[in-house]
Amino acid sequence: MNAEAPVILQIKNLTKKFAAEGGKMLTACDNVTLNAYAGQTLGIIGESGCGKSTLVRTILQIHPASGGEVIFDGQDILKLRGEAARQNRRKIQMVFQDPAAAFNPKMKVKEIVCEPLLNFGLIKKSEVDTKAAELLRMVELPEDFKDRYPHNMSGGQRQRLGIARALSLEPKIVVCDEATSALDVSVQEKICELLVRLQKEKGITYLFICHDLGLVDLMCHQIAVMYLGNIVEYIGYGRRISTEGMHPYTKALMKSVFKVDFKPGEKIEPLESEIPSPLDLPKGCPFQSRCGQCMEICRSEKPELKEVVPGHFVACHLVNGNF
Ligand SMILES: Nc1ncnc2c1ncn2[C@@H]1O[C@H](COP(=O)(O)OP(=O)(O)OP(=O)(O)O)[C@@H](O)[C@H]1O
Ligand code: SF4
Ligand SMILES: [Mg+2]
């Protein structure tokens, strides 16, 4: 889907279903196919409950997949078990939304930041102070923070610590699931600048989930729009989802958010009704119940994700001319 950089992660027909009450199945990710590119950022956007976290958690094997493959380093990492799976985890790390909850409050900063390295036997206990200082410098935190506890740090500082810990194993891919959402805007900006600097220096690939669509537009090289577990639009390198989105859902999503550069007369138009339950996925287009342009074919045939202009894929019968 993008020729600018080599593909590093291939997500192929990835499906995740959860068992729900009454013997039903909840489809959180439905046959998702996506590529992430080396040293670039793949943004994943969509309303709450559309399956963004489930997608990345299935890639990280926090949830077992119901179907599909995730190809990394020439192998399907979903099939790895035991020591092979553990070693693979070094290469794909995660930065959490709420770093405070992710850290053991009884551990000092130096123990938190060096724990992954100790677990993998990559440093000795005697090297913790030196390595912690190096990692703190990398994320622009003062070295003497190493003897603090995380509750004596601000939210932004804790998030820097979370990034230092995730990067300590020198991963190829870092998943940021709402990693900046709990921070106020100025701190968020600084953390994003840090992520971009580290990406340029280390060639890291990010999977970046974020509710701030403006930020996603700025940070991401590719953007996938999710709806009811499906990728309904994918836009590649050098394009902006906010102005070039074609799928009726993407357009509605863009109109429903507040922007700082509102034009005179422009209004926020909240998306009508709520996202339907993933328990009862409709036949045909997943967006049909909320789409003002729904046609006969939309109720019977699911639209495929098709390339409409180079690097830009849309799953909509209207855009794809199937009527
Ligand atoms: N462990 C689980 N067991 C059962 N259902 C789950 C589980 N995790 C997520 N779900 C369901 O899967 C769907 C997708 O949830 P998910 O958390 O992936 O959404 P999301 O896009 O990350 O939302 P948000 O933006 O609110 O974080 C939801 O309907 C959710 O209730
Ligand atoms: S396929 Fe039909 S229902 Fe779905 S978004 Fe396009 S026009 Fe709307
Ligand atoms: Mg989520």
Ligand nearest to the CA of 305: 2
Instruction: Give CA 302 to chain center in angstroms.
Output: 25
Residues with CB under 6 A from ligand 2: 248, 285, 287-288, 291, 293-295, 298, 303, 316-318
Q: Which amino acid would we find at residue 78? A: L
| Predicted confidence band of residue 321 (pLDDT cuts 50, 70, 90) | confident
**Distance (Å) from CA 54 to ligand 3 centroid:** 7
pTM score, two decimals? Answer: 0.94
> Cβ neighbours of residue 4 under 8 Å, at least 6 residues apart?
37, 40, 221, 237
**Distance (Å) from CA 81 to ligand 3 centroid:** 26
Ligand nearest to the CA of 51: 1
**Distance (Å) from CA 245 to ligand 2 centroid:** 14
CATH superfamily of 7-91+171-320: P-loop containing nucleotide triphosphate hydrolases (3.40.50.300)
At 134-148, the pLDDT tens digits run 999 999 999 999 999
Tell me the best of 15, 17, 26, 57 to mutate to test the pocket of ligand 1, counting ligand atoms within 8 Å of each CB and taking the most.
26
**Distance (Å) from CA 122 to ligand 3 centroid:** 32
Ligand nearest to the CA of 252: 2
At 197-255, the pLDDT tens digits run 999 999 999 999 988 888 898 899 999 999 999 999 999 977 788 889 999 999 998 88
* Averaged pLDDT, 288-294: 93
Please answer whether residues 253 and 47 qualify as being in contact, where contact means their C-beta atoms are separated by less than 8 angstroms: yes
Q: Return the residue whose CA atom lies nearest to atom 6 of ligand 2.
A: 316
| Predicted confidence band of residue 269 (pLDDT cuts 50, 70, 90) | low
What is d(CA 176, CA 195) in angstroms, rounded to the nearest whole number?
10
Which DSSP state fits 83? H
Crossing angle of helices 155-167 and 185-202, in 10° steps, is 20
Q: Residues of CATH 3.40.50.300 domain(s) within the chain?
A: 7-91+171-320
Q: Return the residue whose CA atom lies nearest to atom 20 of ligand 1.
A: 49
Token digits for 162? 């979370």
Q: DSSP E strands: which ranges in 20-158?
A: 25-37, 41-45, 67-72, 75-76, 92-95
Q: Is the CB of 56 under 6 A from ligand 1?
A: no
Ligand nearest to the CA of 302: 2
Q: How high is the pLDDT of residue 280?
A: 75
At 70-80, the pLDDT tens digits run 999 999 999 99
Share of the chain above pLDDT 70, in %: 94
Instruction: Give CA 50 to chain center in angstroms.
Output: 12
What is d(CA 160, CA 78) in angstroms, rounded to the nearest whole number?
29
Check whether 258 has a pLDDT greater than 80. no
**Distance (Å) from CA 119 to ligand 1 centroid:** 30
